[in-house]
Amino acid sequence: MKSELGYNRRKILFFTLLLLLLASLIAIPFCLFRSKTVTPVAKRRLSAPLTVAGIPKKTIWGIDISHHQRIINWNHLTDKPYFIFLKSTEGGSHTDTRFKKYYAKAREKKILCGAYHFFSYRVSGEAQARHFIANTKLHKGDLAPVLDVERARRMPAKREIIKEVNNWMKIVGKHYGVEPILYTDENFYMKYLKGNLHKNYQLWLCDYYQQPDVNWKIWQRTDRFRLSGIHGTVDLNYFKGNFADLQRMTLKQDCCL
């Protein structure tokens, strides 16, 4: 029995080594293939414009900012963007501490500006719409308000997301007299919102790797853009159309608090 047991052990060891060898032969080409496919994606992200000089000619471009940009030296903002979106509110109670100051400065510099709300899944769409309206005074000529909807760690049921997003868009659109803009990424839009919105809202899509396949009006191209007067990096956005097209997406009257 001892000799038989030793033989069986040698057989098991032999076949184990053989299986490991075969696995390594399969794994090496797979890793090489994967590295070849990942590298171009990273390069596409890095190829996005990092300064104004890299933006294609005749492109209508803009930025979006919040209190995270901290202090902005508006006098050094020599390369003025065509438009700026400013964070105003989030959820049902948070307000951006720099919205009013940034808004006043942007208008002073005669930059077309708008405001956005960051959506929360913990509060109803109606409550968030009322919060945005109560804290966001927009004027004639300002860009349409924006709802920023993104994926969260804990997501409610799809039907709840659709319901609350539609409620926000409906209430805000009625108050400001212009259809709001929806900001999200393509995957989120395709999974939750495509075909489920009450209206054909203009889309502002985020994709740092390639141009979205969905019909977008604004494309957030990169979050690594640098602009004189702003410390650190900021989001760069392209508008599909000319400046006159952009102006058609503005309020036709003042909206008081």
Element (H, E) at 185: strand 181-185
Q: What is the DSSP string of 139-184?
A: -TTPBPPEEE----SS---HHHHHHHHHHHHHHHHHHHTSPPEEEE
* 3-class state of residue 131 by DSSP: helix
Cα separation values, 117 from 33, 136, 153, 215, 254, Å: 42, 10, 19, 22, 19
What is the Rg, in whole angstroms, of the alpha carbon atoms belonging to the chain? Answer: 25
Q: Is 150 an active-site residue?
A: yes
Q: Is 64 an active-site residue?
A: yes
Catalytic residue among 79, 150, 160, 213: 150
Q: Are 115 and 85 in contact (CB under 8 A)?
A: yes
Q: Are 193 and 168 in contact (CB under 8 A)?
A: no
Question: How many other CB atoms sit within 10 Å of the CB of residue 189?
Answer: 20
In the block, residue with structure tokens 């492109």:
59
Supply the residues annotated as catalytic.
Answer: 64, 150
